Amino acid sequence: MADPVRIAFIGTGGIAGHHLGELTALGPEKARVVALCDISEERARSAAEDVADARVFTDHHRMFDEAAADIDAVYVCVPPFAHDDAEQLAAAAGLHLFVEKPVVLDYDLGLANLAAIEKGGILSSVGYTLRYRHPWRTARDLLHDREVSMICADRWGGTPGDEDNWWRVQEKSGGQLHEQTTHQIDAMRWIAGEITEVYACYGHRVAENTTNMTVPDSQVMSLRFASGAVGYVSNVCTLTSGGGRSGMQVLMGDTIADIGRELTVQPEDAIAVPAEAPAYESIDAAFVRAVSSGDGAPILCDYAEGLRSAAVSLAANESAATGRPVSVPCGQSGLPGSSLV
């Protein structure tokens, strides 16, 4: 495919703005945004102010009908509840897909999207950015073939948006574990292998009287991995005055790897950590390079992988609702294999 890669956006909110900035930084010789679609025309036109000559749409069906011939790839940057037929229409049109995480709230819809992607023979990428960042990618390279006994992750922070924000509604976001801490869940899978069973407990004490907030304010999920390792994830979304934390610990016998903004190992001589950070390309640069070349190698998380990670937190929501452990379908044999695992 000749450069530049011609890109359309479905959803032009905050995360789309981030990707638009990254694509602009690549330069017009590599990537050109040709269409912007959002149910809010005002929001779409606002995004178009920084994109020369992009067509504006408020209906992705119309965008595909009128502009598909001028598009090479589509970014789907909508909230979890807003996924419908966009991925399947793009795949049927032969347009490569970048889908923001989490890919769905409905696992069956995810399977249908995956089938369409495979049938269309297109490239797909999911926005799990930790895979492209130095500490996490280095940890994967150094640890993924070691015997892990336990892996733990915490994400403690505040609540996004105002009281009208969709993120605060469980039926729209799926909760912090599904919409936000999914980054840590994906990194766990990438480093330590598939998760086969979860048991989750949720709390709603601190924010129970907060207007329009039905997501749990505290969540804990215990994990069992296919390897036999165990682990947990905890998250909190009520720390409005600071004091947050985000990171992961991987325990391997008498060695601990701590992953966050940096990668550290105790004892220091147990694993040789590179002194200098390699220059890895961004998730957007990798996707554009893959589409331009027709080679998916730069993509570190395709749709199948993204669906596996979403399945873990969807299983956690079921576990919290039933009070019982829940098997993760794609942690065993419920999802086709991926070359990225």
Mean pLDDT of the 176-185 span: 98
What was the pLDDT predicted at 335?
57
Considering the chain, tell me which residue range(s) the CATH 3.40.50.720 domain(s) occupy.
5-129+283-299
Distance, CA of 253 to CA of 34 (rounded, Å): 52
Bridge partners, 6 (sequence order): 32
- 276's tokens: 């200098």
Mean pLDDT of the chain: 93
Q: Tens of pLDDT along 211-249?
A: 889 999 999 999 999 999 999 999 999 987 767 889 999
Please give the model's pTM, rounded to 2 decimal places.
0.94
As a whole-number percent, the residues of the chain with pLDDT over 70 amount to: 95
- 155's tokens: 């994400």
What was the pLDDT predicted at 100?
99
Which CATH class for the 131-279+308-331 domain?
Answer: alpha beta
Mean pLDDT of the 120-130 span: 98
Could you tell me which CATH number the domain at 5-129+283-299 has?
3.40.50.720
Mean pLDDT of the 172-190 span: 98
